[in-house]
Chain A
Amino acid sequence: MKILVHELGAEEFARQVEEEFAHFVTLGTDFPQAEYDRIAAYFAPPPFETGLSGEIDRSDPAFALWVDRQVAAHKAPGYAIANISLKPIGGIPGDISAEQMDLVADLAERYSFDELRATHAQNLVLPHVRKSDLYAVWQALDEAGLADVNLDLVSDIIACPGLDYCSLANARSIPVAQKLAERFADIDRQRDLGELKIKISGCINACGHHHAGHIGILGVDRKGTENYQLLLGGSGAEDTTPAKITGPGFDEDGVVDAVERAIERYRAVREPGERFLDTYRRVGMEPFKEAIYG
């Protein structure tokens, strides 16, 4: 597809799509409103209770920390969205044991209208939790080792299965994620760094979306050994940008060091309130290159 767009040019490609679409409409392939309604009914919001309290009892400080990082606002009054981190320091990103999954399923059944979602960031979401139930949910998660407080922080790393599991891989992803998370394990340091999305792919297929990471790592094969390219400045959010390669690649430990040097440079030059990505956009690649390659 990208080759076709390149050959035709975006405008001509769009013109041909429009032309084909106009033809398509004449074929009567559109379904009627009744079918639309039938399908939409499956996605009706659950029967939210009204008159619930909007208060969260934050007297347990560990719980309050979790609420601040993992819980998001819900459109229905009295409800909240609870993000479950599957990124314990040193763990495999996105992994969950059968016992933990059973527990999460129970929580979904009991507290979230039987609904549980998996995110592209390799975490889970209980989408409709009563605020008054959050403490009970957190206690259960905490007991099961599922109450990490690192959503969107530097240790909330997306990593593809890589060479450990994937037959297409050039390099391993998981050990790099584990080493990075261990390097930045200190939660105060993580919170100080703020939102920072690291994404790792074990080959150019980009299942880890490294090209959309604030910091991206791409495993390549260099003469039969694993090598890692480092990329900066990507975003998969509303302000999409593709990340750019910093320069020559690294071995496994080298890339972890290089990430740390880039992050330290960010800390040195950031302005108040700036995320890593914002600073990169303001100052450009050069200062980071200098920090990384010396």
Chain B
Amino acid sequence: MAENPLRFRDDQQADEPAVSLGAFLEQANANSVRIEAGDDVRLLIPALDRVRLVEIDFPRFRDGRGFSSARILREAGYTGELKATGDVLLDLLAFMRRCGFDSFAPDSPIDPAEAELAFNRYPHVYQHAADPPDSPWAVPIWKLRHA
């Protein structure tokens, strides 16, 4: 499989296709799951230690439920790959990262150089979110100000 330039992880990609949330919960050995916009991702939390890949689909850019799904999983301690698929647009990328996504498979391709610019547009943030620990966003501006 070709390297995904919008994948920000060093580990091996999961090699099995993601299955629906219902199927995943029934198949005790599955490790990749696909979350649709209406799915309640909290059902996945008890099974998190066997998950290697979660794909979260954005059917239309204005359906923002996938942002919450991602954040909920990260806050529940999920550390595997979290991939945004579907109607993923350049101007959403930075916010998706802040919600915990670390790979992207947009329906219409995004130029990695432009993605890089989007990630670096705002160097500081006001509030802690589901940012990766090595991200500049992991430390809110007030912590830097009053360190």
Contact = CB atoms under 8 A, between A and B. Distances in A.
A38 interface: yes
A23 B71 CA distance: 12
Interface size class of B (residues with CB under 8 A): under 10
Chain B contact residues: helix, strand, loop or mixed: loop
Contacts of A38: 145
A34 B146 contact: yes
A35 B145 contact: yes
A28 interface: yes
B127 interface: yes
A38 B126 CA distance: 14
A32 B128 CA distance: 13
Contacts of A28: 128
A97 interface: no
Nearest to B146: A34
Nearest to A39: B142
Nearest to B141: A35
A35 B142 contact: yes
Interface string B14-39: 00000000000000000000000000
B68 to A, nearest CB: 10
B75 A31 contact: no
A23 B127 CA distance: 15
Given A23-B75, A29-B128, A29-B140, 5 more contacts: A27-B128, A29-B127, A31-B140, A34-B146, A38-B145
Which 7 pairs from chain A and chain B are nearest by CB?
A35-B142, A34-B146, A31-B142, A29-B128, A29-B127, A32-B146, A35-B146
Interface of B: 75, 127-128, 140, 142, 145-146
